[in-house]
Amino acid sequence: MTTHSFRNGRIATRDGVLDAATIEVAADGTIAALRAGAEREAVDLAGGWVMPGFIDTQVNGGGGVLFNDTPTVEGIAAIGAAHAPYGTTGFMPTLISDRPAVIARGLDATDEAIEAGVPGVLGTHVEGPVLSLARKGIHDPARFQPLDDELMALLLQPRRGVVMVTLAPERVSAEQIATLARAGVRVCLGHTDADYATATAAFAAGATGVTHLFNAMSPLVHRAPGVVGASLDDQHAWCGIIVDGFHVDDAALRIALRARPVDRFMLVSDAMPCVGAARKDFVLQGKPIHVEDGRCVGADGTLAGSDLDMAGAVRNAVRRLGLAPEIAGALAATSPAAFLGLEAERGALAAGLRADWVRLDADLQPLGTWIGGEERVVLPQQARGEPVT
C-alpha cells in the first residue's frame, strides 16, 4: 500500500471536487481508499489539479510513430509513451483506413501489447475503411471497401481489448451494425454522408458513438438535419469532439454542448505522430503532411488529424468552450471510460478503480501522470507544452 496526499488545490473525485485529499493505492494498482483531507507530508498543489487519467479513443500516432506504419507491440508502446506525459493513461491505437491485412496486424498487435502489459493500451479503433467517398477527409479512398465477410470476421473475432469501428452507416446494413454491437464492438458513425433517417436507424440498430462530431459528416441544415442533426437529437450516443480551434468553430461546439447531455461528449486528440515528437512533419500513406502552429494539413489543405494532446484538449475545453475544469476532465476520462464499457475499472478517482491520475498546475499544464499508481515523469519542456527532444 502506498499513500499519496494532496493539499492546497483541487482534486476531482467521482463524488465531487476536494481541496485536499489522500489516495491509498493497493499493490494491484487500484485505489484502496480515497478520503478528504491531507496528511502532514502532503504535496502542495499550489492551486493546481489532480484529475482522473485521460482516456483517448482516437490516437493515430505519437512520438514520431504512426500506428498504420508500425502495427506492432513496440509501435503501440512508443505511442503510449509519447502521450503519457500529457495525462493520457488509457488509449485506443487507431488505424486509418487500410487493407484488411494491416487491420488484422493492428488488432493482433493490440492483443499482444495488452498481454505484454504495455501501459494504457485498451483496445483498437478501426477508423474505416467502410467510409463515404464524399466525406473521405484525409483518408485514402483507394483503401475503402464494403463491410464484407472477411472484414466482419476480423471485427468480430474475440479480443483482449475493446474493438471500436468507425463506419459510414449508408454503406452497411442495420443488421450488420446490430451484429457488431451484439458482439461488443463499439460502432461509431463517421466519415459519412448519411441523411438523418439513416443515422437515426444506425443508432437504433446499436451504434453508440460519433467520431469527431461535425467533421467529415453531413451537416445540420434546416430541412436536412444530416448526421450532425441526428447526433445532436440523440441523447444517448457518445460524441467525440476535437477541441483544437481548427476542426470545429468554438461556437458550434458550445451549441452542441447545450443540445444534449454533457456527459455524452468525450474529448479526443485525433493525434498524429507529431505529438510528443521533435520533428513535426510526417508522411501519411504516401502523402506529406505539414504541421505548423498545431495544425496538420495535406498538400491540398485537408486537415490530417491533429497535433493535439489530451491535456491541451482539456485546457481548450475550459478556455474556449467555458467548461469548468472538473467537467472538462470528466469529458477526457469518465465519458470515454463509459463509452468503452470500462467505467467499473477506470475513468474516475474512487475506491476500487485503477489508480490512474494526472497532476496539473493552475494553468492546467501537466506536471505528472500516474498509471496504476506508478508515476510517469514529465520532462520540463513537456510541462511548458514544448515537444520532446
Query: What domain count does the chain have?
Result: 2
In terms of domains, do 307 and 359 share one?
A: no
Distances (CA, A) of 214 to 139, 151, 190, 246, 305: 16, 27, 9, 12, 14
How many CB atoms are located within 10 Å of the residue 251 CB?
10
CA–CA gap between residue 124 and residue 68 (Å, rounded):
12
86 and 147 in one domain?
Answer: yes
If asked whether residues 12 and 153 sit together in one domain, one would say: no
CATH (domain of 88): 3.20.20.140
Residue 378 has what pLDDT?
64
- On whether both 139 and 183 belong to a single domain, the answer is yes
* 388, part of any domain: no
**Tell me, what's the pLDDT at 1?**
86
Q: How far apart, in Å, are the Cα atoms of 244 and each of 18, 104, 154, 358?
A: 29, 31, 33, 20
19 CB burial (10 A radius; 0-12, 13-18, 19+) = middle
| 335 in the same domain as 275 | yes
The cell for 330 is: 470528466
Q: Is 69 found in the same domain as 8?
A: no
Q: Of 270, 307, 309, 356, which residue is the catalytic one?
A: 270
User: Looking at residue 379, what is its pLDDT?
Assistant: 55
**Are 376 and 287 in a shared domain?**
no
Predicted pLDDT of residue 137: 96
Q: Do 186 and 237 share a domain, yes or no?
A: yes
Distance CA 349, CA 221 (A): 41
The pLDDT of residue 216: 98
Average pLDDT value for residue range 241-268: 98
- Residues 136, 250 share a domain: yes
- pLDDT tens-digit series, residues 189-208: 999 999 999 999 999 999 99
Bigger pLDDT: 166 or 389?
166
The CATH number of whichever domain residue 43 belongs to comes to: 2.30.40.10
Domain that holds residue 32: 2-50+351-383
CA distance 327 to 314: 9
Q: How confident is the model at residue 376 (pLDDT cuts 50, 70, 90)?
A: confident
Say whether 270 is catalytic. yes
Rounded Cα distance between 289 and 155, Å, is 29
Quote the pTM value.
Answer: 0.96
Average confidence (pLDDT) over 268-285 = 96
pLDDT at 380: 47
Confidence at 259, pLDDT banded by 50, 70, 90: very high
356 with 241, same domain: the answer is: no
Give the H or E element holding residue 327. helix 325-339
**344 assigned to some structural domain:** no
Do residues 10 and 118 share a domain? Answer: no
| Alpha carbons 13 and 376: distance in angstroms, whole number | 20
Q: What is the DSSP string of 216-244?
A: TB---BTTB-HHHHHHHH-SSSEEEE--S
